[in-house]
Amino acid sequence: MSRPQTRLVDELFALDSRIRYVALLDRNSKLLESRMRSNVMSLTPETYDRKFMSSVPPMILDTLSQLENQCGPLAHISIQYQKVDLVIFPNNNQIVAISLEPGPLEPILRKLRDSLNLHIHL
């Protein structure tokens, strides 16, 4: 793992204690880093996490990015389950996927926008 990827994951975990898990992928869907917060139990087995993160976020992002010519760049995708929230977004030629403890997304999106200079409308 390269240092910038490890540093980005550390920075994301430091943004908010609700962040449970962070995955970084390159634009070719290669999983660069996959890490659960040390004091948090995963809801799914690690092998499933890695398989899911290396396939689903890139597929969703690629599918929804097809409207960018008409609608402008995709900022983020948020998915809310009963037990976990997911946020997926492009960042510097990478795909970032984070899972969160359930709760309001606006505070997390604000922190992501401000720390990574993402174009998220709040």
Residues 76-116 pLDDT 10s:
999 999 999 999 999 988 999 999 999 999 999 999 999 99
Q: Does 97 fall in a domain?
A: yes
Rounded CA-CA distance 59/61 in Å is 6
Rounded CA-CA distance 2/119 in Å is 26
pTM of the model: 0.90
**Torsion from C-alpha of 11, 77, 73, 2, nearest 10 degrees:** 30
Would you state the pLDDT for residue 3? 61
pLDDT: which is higher, 3 or 82: 82
Rounded CA-CA distance 89/77 in Å is 6
C-alpha pair distances (Å), 31 with each of 26, 45, 94:
7, 16, 10
Q: How confident is the model at residue 122 (pLDDT cuts 50, 70, 90)?
A: confident
Q: Does 62 fall in a domain?
A: yes
Tell me the chain's radius of gyration from C-alpha atoms. 14
Would you state the pLDDT for residue 1? 44
Q: Does 107 fall in a domain?
A: yes
* CB-based burial, 8-45: b 16+ in 10 Å, e otherwise: bbeebbebeebbbbbbbbeeebebbbbbbbeeeeeeee
Q: Does 20 fall in a domain?
A: yes
Q: Does 122 fall in a domain?
A: no
| pLDDT (tens digit per residue) in 36-77 | 999 999 998 888 888 898 889 889 998 999 999 999 999 999
Closest CA to 96 of 69, 122, 72, 120: 120
Q: Does 121 fall in a domain?
A: no
CATH number of the domain that residue 68 is part of: 3.30.450.30
Overall domain count for the chain: 1
Range of the domain at 42: 3-116
Would you state the pLDDT for residue 28? 86
